[in-house]
Amino acid sequence: MTWVPVPDGSDFPVTNLPFGVFRGPNGRRIGVAIGAHILDLAGVVERGLLDEPTQALRTTTLNDFMASGRPQWTRVRERVSRLLTDESCRGNVEPLLVRQDAVRMCLPFAVADYVDFYSSKDHATNVGQIFRPDAPALLPNWTHLPVGYHGRAGTVVVSGTDIVRPCGQRKAPADEAPTYGPSRRLDIEAEVGFVVGVPTQLGDRVSTVDFADHVFGVVLVNDWSARDIQAWEYVPLGPFLGKSFATSVSPWVVPLEALAGARVAGPVQDPAPLAYLVDDDPWALDLAMEVDWNGTVVSRPPFASMYWTPGQQLAHLTGNGASLRTGDLYASGTVSGPEREQRGSFLELSWGGTEPVTLDGGVTRTFLEDGDTVTLRATAPGLDGTRIGFGALTGKVTAARPPIAS
């Protein structure tokens, strides 16, 4: 279909065409992934190969393009698809391909606000049992609203960025007093993130029906979490420093249109949600995720098992009239399925550190050690029977910084 050679099993057949930002010989540029290559979209604009000049594609983040709205997203996607499939375009376009392994990927968009939900029932149930063994696992609000919190947008980093082990206050239940120092329970959360393109005005609400008018595309998210810091600090106001030190995202934003073939029926919800959360045409997605710990796949979380849909999350997030900004990122919450090998965090996989996970070679782990690398991947049914992917989201843990001299 495309004249670009696409390796077998590539995440990026021509039915995907995710957007990203790369740093190559000509500086920071917007591009689209195709096979093992990137099409330099700034170059496409400069050569006059789009039907209309799209200056938003000559900037260094996706934000201006994401703000331009769905009709424009569709036009550019169709045109890029034609450039990569029509043999007569090859002579003009081929010089604009750069190899992915020859460039460095950048954070694809300037993150405006960042929200993290908690929308997997299996995850919420597991964490409830581990953190509050003497209380009901699910709190009463959980089946009525998509529980979430506002995170720290400024510490969202792109795949490949090292994660410095955070320090903070830790106090295990048996400890008499808290101490300050490096987290001993550093963990991951395998999540899916939704990137907002079209903003709203203060006071506006977004209906579930209008989800696809506002959300540009989808990324993978690793919500790094320091469980010891989190467990001590989170009552009563929720996650804070146990989460805010870093959140990683994949470098490629997969457009919603590329995921049309991955849509599945939404979850059965009981009790029925309030009217503002009804989602009759949900963007529940059949993404097959994979958690790789130092080269061993330890879990395969199924995104289709999520209880709240991304449309419901967006409707809830704006249900009070909070405005959206271009570049807002909201993540699904840890994706965990009902089986042990489907859990999206090491807290759950090791059941609070009591059941070590065995990696290839017989090494065991409960939480992350310095030097460990975690890679998240996901694939989905693409259009025309293809399989598409998100590219790898990777991060390596480095040692905590030494104490500050006083």
Binding characters for Mn ion, 144-163, by CB under 5 A (x = yes): --------------------
Q: Which of 6/221 has CB closer to Mn ion?
A: 221
Stretch that binds Mn ion, among 60-68, 73-81, 113-121, 372-380 (CB under 5 A): 113-121
Label each residue of 131-149 as H, E or C.
HCCCCCCCCCCCCCCCCEE
Among 223, 257, 292, 372, binds Mn ion (CB under 5 A): 223
User: x/- site string to Mn ion, residues 268 to 307, per CB under 5 A?
Assistant: ----------------------------------------
Amino acid letter for position 389 = G
Size of the site for Mn ion (CB under 5 A): 3
Least distance from C-beta 345 to Mn ion, angstroms?
8
The DSSP symbol for 99 reads E
Total Cβ atoms within 10 A of residue 59: 15
- Cα–Cα distance between 315 and 30 in angstroms, integer? 30
Under the binding rule (CB under 5 A), the answer on residue 187 touching Mn ion is no
Of the residues 37, 123, 214, 316, only one is catalytic, namely 123
Strand partners, 291: 299, 376
376 touches 189 (CB < 8 A): no
Q: Is 189 in the site for Mn ion (CB under 5 A)?
A: yes
- Tell me how far apart the 2 most distant CA atoms of the chain are, in Å: 74
397 has which bridge partners? Answer: 163
CB of 225 to Mn ion, least distance (A): 7
Least Å distance between CB 154 and Mn ion? 17
Query: What is the rounded (10 degree) CA torsion for 289, 268, 211, 391?
Result: 0
Q: Cβ closer to Mn ion: 239 or 381? A: 239
Q: Is 116 in the site for Mn ion (CB under 5 A)?
A: yes
The residue type found at 60 is T
Sign, CA torsion 24/30/34/35: positive
CB closer to Mn ion out of 83 and 314: 314
Taking the complex as a whole, how short is the minimal distance between the CB of residue 309 and Mn ion, in angstroms? Answer: 17
205 in Cβ contact with 316 (< 8 Å): no
Q: Cis peptide leading into 236, omega within 30 of 0? A: yes
Does 348 bind Mn ion (CB under 5 A)? Our answer is no
Cβ at position 114, least distance to Mn ion in Å: 11
Is-catalytic flag, 123?
yes
Q: Which residues would be at the binding site for Mn ion (CB under 5 A)? A: 116, 189, 223
Active-site residues, by number, are 123
